[in-house]
Amino acid sequence: MPRPSVREVIVDTAVTEFHRHGFAACSVDTITRAAGVPKGSFYNHFKSKEDLGAEVVARYAESSGWRDGHGDLGPLDTLRARFTVMRDVLVDNEFTRGCLIGNMGSERADHSPVIRKQVGESLTHWSDSITDSIRQAQAAGEVKGDKDPELLGRFVLDAWEGAIIRTKVAKSVAPLDDFFDVVFGSLL
Amino acid sequence: MPRPSVREVIVDTAVTEFHRHGFAACSVDTITRAAGVPKGSFYNHFKSKEDLGAEVVARYAESSGWRDGHGDLGPLDTLRARFTVMRDVLVDNEFTRGCLIGNMGSERADHSPVIRKQVGESLTHWSDSITDSIRQAQAAGEVKGDKDPELLGRFVLDAWEGAIIRTKVAKSVAPLDDFFDVVFGSLL
């Protein structure tokens, strides 16, 4: 197996560090120390901590497991299963960390155009995927056809990101249960 | 008019500083400098920056204008008017800052029990108020009586907090429009 590049090690480490502590609370120094690479190597690979932040958001979004298959489930059950995977990660993390995309949006959107752009793209990519599922569920007769799937895709993602904040604050699964009850019990 | 106390000046300044820059990005030094008070006076009034953070969340929640009257509107229109006030503030701020309660929850819930507790209380207070409006709207026949007002109160607040994150990221009112469309167009 090839040795991961210094760049890869920095990105992987920063995913964990930013997720645990937040962006402002981490420095290039704390990240390179946690990664076990020389601090001087950082600027061979990244222009700035902001640049690393944008790459971290993209990496996190890609590796979320959101698009993993769920066997022969129908479209609505597949969507529910995808959110359930995310829910289980939050339970395993004892309701810490939350969603790195939402965290970075909340913390950095006003201060870093490069991170803001990447968070925006990741959110749109994600809500588009939810919209696709809703469209398929409409085609399968599982969701009423008169509902706007694009509007619902965006709204459902916002409701999820808000539920994650309350879950972090309450240190309880209850806000995620609320999400499933409303979204899959009455909204869709 | 009595001169505001040093303590008041620090809290008022910190509301603005934490809202603009985030908690980790502000120090006791930057806050006391922005407040125009001696740094040494800080610890006469607060045990720590965390303690100030909790007080800032409480102050922000109290002064949000959420409970201001809206004339003779019915309960559902009053609820919509309350969210519209919040929307207009976000528009005036050009979609910067977001909601300080949500920001502090996202950034500090894992790191500060005292801030986490205050954010939790402020969120519960707020969702209870939404629940009250929904109950009144049910009594007035504006919302179907078979919907669980407590569940909806919590869910609507989560959807709002998530919409605010996306509004900050998109620098656009569109996510707030999505919220109004779904919540007042079909959910309630």
The per-residue DSSP string of A49-71 comes to HHHHHHHHHHHHHHTS-TT---T
Interface of B with A (CB under 8 A): 20-22, 24-25, 96-98, 102-103, 105-107, 109-111, 116, 119-120, 123, 147, 151-152, 154-155, 157-163, 165-166, 168-171, 175, 178-179, 181-182, 186-187
Closest CA to B77 of B22, B122, B131, B142: B142
Quote the minimal CA–CA distance from B30 to chain A in Å.
15
Q: What is the mean pLDDT of chain A?
A: 96
The answer as to CATH 1.10.357.10 being correct for domain B69-187 is: yes
User: How far apart, in whole angstroms, are the C-alpha atoms of residue B180 and residue B159?
Assistant: 10
Asked if A154 and B166 come within 8 Å (Cβ–Cβ), the reply is yes
Q: Token pair of A40, please?
A: 């001087």
Q: How far apart are CA B95 and CA B170, in angstroms?
A: 8
Is A102 within 8 Å of B162 when comparing Cβ atoms?
yes
CB count in 10 Å sphere of residue A116? 22
Average pLDDT, chain B: 96
CA of B112: which chain A residue's CA is closest? A169
pLDDT at A62 over 90: yes
Mean pLDDT, residues B94-102 taken together: 98
| CB < 8 Å to A170, chain B | 120
- CB pair distance less than 8 Å for A175 and B159: no
Residue B138 has pLDDT above 70, yes or no: yes
- Domain segments of chain B: what residues? 6-60, 69-187
Number of neighbouring beta carbons within 10 Å of residue B111: 16
Which residues does B86 contact at the CB level (< 8 Å), separation at least 6? B64, B66, B99, B160
pLDDT category of residue A110 using cuts at 50, 70 and 90: very high
- A147 and B186 in contact by Cβ < 8 A? yes
pLDDT at A1 over 90: no
ipTM: 0.97
| pLDDT at res. A179 | 98
Q: Which CATH class is domain A66-187?
A: mainly alpha
For the A6-60 domain, the top CATH level (class) is mainly alpha
Per-residue confidence (pLDDT) for residue B2, from 0 to 100:
65
* Chain A with chain B: Cβ pairs closer than 8 A: 140
pLDDT tens sequence across B151-160: 999 999 999 9
Taking an 8 Å Cβ-Cβ cutoff, which residues of chain A contact chain B?
20-22, 24-25, 96-98, 102-103, 105-107, 109-111, 116, 119-120, 123, 147, 151-152, 154-155, 157-163, 165-166, 168-171, 175, 178-179, 181-182, 186-187
Q: Is B146 helix (H, G, I), strand (E, B) or coil?
A: coil
Mutation choice for A interface testing from B107, B119, B148, B160 by most A CBs within 10 A: B107
pLDDT at A74 over 90: yes
For residue B186, name the pLDDT band (cuts at 50, 70, 90): very high
Residues of chain A in contact with residue B175, where contact means CB-CB under 8 angstroms, are: 154, 158
What kind and span of H or E run contains A97?
none
Which tens digit of pLDDT belongs to each residue from B31-69?
999 999 999 999 999 999 999 999 999 999 999 889 899
Chain-chain contact of A116 with B169 (C-beta, under 8 angstroms): yes
Mark yes or no for CB contact B158/A169 under 8 Å: no
- % of chain B residues with pLDDT over 70: 98
What's the mean pLDDT in A119-144? 97
Residues 6+ apart with CB under 8 A from A99: A86, A160, A161, A164
| Per-residue pLDDT, B4 | 77
* Residues B67, B72, B74: CA angle, nearest 5 degrees: 80
Tell which of B49, B103, B106, B125 to mutate to test the A interface (max A CBs under 10 Å).
Answer: B106
B128 pLDDT above the threshold of 80 = yes
Mutate to test the interface with A, among B126, B166, B184 (most CBs of A within 10 A): B166
**3-state SS class at A69:** coil
Q: What is the mean pLDDT of residues B164-173?
A: 98
